[in-house]
């Protein structure tokens, strides 16, 4: 008779981390632990597929699977979901024109908080509807943030109409 010793290795405990939520066009760093080598899929929207901590920039919510291999060449997998929130649909309103010295009320919609620039000629750059008091043609840009922390921008033009030039001629004598 002959005997053979068979050693059974435990599978590695691979952990891809907790699910992540990002805004469209943002990047998140994934981070797997528990192995000595890794293979991520799907490969698109990843900076690398064979490292523990690739960057991911999906355009839609995506489930990534990581296969981790330990020093004994045993493999196990884990998954992580990256949820992608859309950007807010921001509208800075329609372009307008005012006479020099007048004001125009701006009106942004589509988000929860707003920051307008340039701020110097605005009544309050931190609200959706500030009054603008420009002295030159000005393009106002609003940075708007929604409840998910996602940010988008839009712009509106306020043009200045010149004041009319009044002219007076010489005195004239008329009959009643």
Query: Is the whole-model pTM more than 0.85?
Result: no
- From CA 89, how far away is CA 85, in angstroms rounded? 12
Q: What is the mean pLDDT of each run of 10 residues along the chain (176 residues)?
A: 86 96 98 97 97 98 98 96 98 95 96 97 98 96 98 98 80 78
Q: Calculate the CA 174 to chain-centre distance.
A: 72
- For 28-61, b where at least 16 C-beta lie within 10 A, e where not — what string? bebebbbbeebbbeeeebbeeeebbebebbbeee
């Amino acid at each position: 008779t002959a005997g053979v010793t068979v050693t059974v290795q435990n599978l590695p405990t691979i952990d891809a981390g907790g699910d992540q939520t990002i805004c469209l066009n943002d990047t998140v760093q994934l981070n797997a632990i528990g192995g000595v080598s890794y293979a991520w899929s799907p490969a698109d929207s990843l900076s690398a597929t064979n490292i523990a901590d690739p960057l991911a920039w999906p355009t839609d919510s995506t489930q990534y699977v990581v296969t981790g291999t330990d020093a004994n060449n045993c493999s196990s997998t884990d998954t992580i979901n990256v949820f992608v929130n859309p950007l807010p649909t921001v509208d800075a309103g329609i372009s307008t024109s005012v006479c020099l010295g007048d004001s125009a009320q701006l009106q942004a919609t589509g988000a929860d908080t707003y920051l307008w620039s340039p701020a110097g000629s605005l009544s309050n750059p931190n609200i959706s509807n500030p009054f603008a008091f420009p002295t030159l043609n000005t393009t106002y840009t609003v940075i708007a943030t929604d409840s998910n922390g996602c940010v988008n921008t839009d712009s509106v033009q306020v043009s200045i109409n010149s004041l009319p030039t009044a002219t007076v001629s010489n005195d004239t004598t008329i009959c009643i």
